[in-house]
Amino acid sequence: MKKIMAILLSLLLFTLIFGCGGEKLPPKPGDWTASAGFGNLEFIVDYDSASIAEITFHFNDFECGGKWTSASKMIQKYPGWPIEGGRFRIEHKAINWNFVIEGKFDKTGMRATGTWRIIGYNCSGNWESSRED
């Protein structure tokens, strides 16, 4: 019985010290770039990984709802758009459209995926980004 208790205590201590390995890491702070159906999307994760401080839309010969553009639009927000549970949502007017960008970070904090759509139009798609540093 003492041997079983010693083994269980050892397992408990190991788990407390080293964890279960399933911990989710916060998003990597800094610049992120994603390819999207309208061109590129760039966003900055704040230094504390708690928000998106800035987003830039780069439109490349994009057309939606009879409107066309090739331009860039940078938007900053303070405090930034929150990242909660590894997820974020940004709704903002960019050039001619009201955009909704939604995303989530994976458990490593080094990859993000999401969707974009334009409110009131049938224009939408997916985006993906990863950090290697």
Q: Which residues of the chain have pLDDT under 50?
A: 12-13, 15-19
pTM for this prediction: 0.77
pLDDT of 92: 87
Count Cβ atoms within 10 A of the Cβ of residue 59 and give its class: 0-12 exposed, 13-18 middle, 19 or more buried: buried
Q: Does domain 2-130 have CATH number 2.40.128?
A: yes
Distance CA 68, CA 24 (A): 40
For the chain, the domains span: 2-130
Distance CA 37, CA 114 (A): 12
DSSP state of 91: E
pLDDT digits (tens, 9 = 90+) for 43-75: 999 999 999 999 999 989 989 888 888 989 899
Q: Which residue reads 């010693």 in tokens?
A: 6
Of 111, 132, 114, nearest to 124 (Cα)?
114
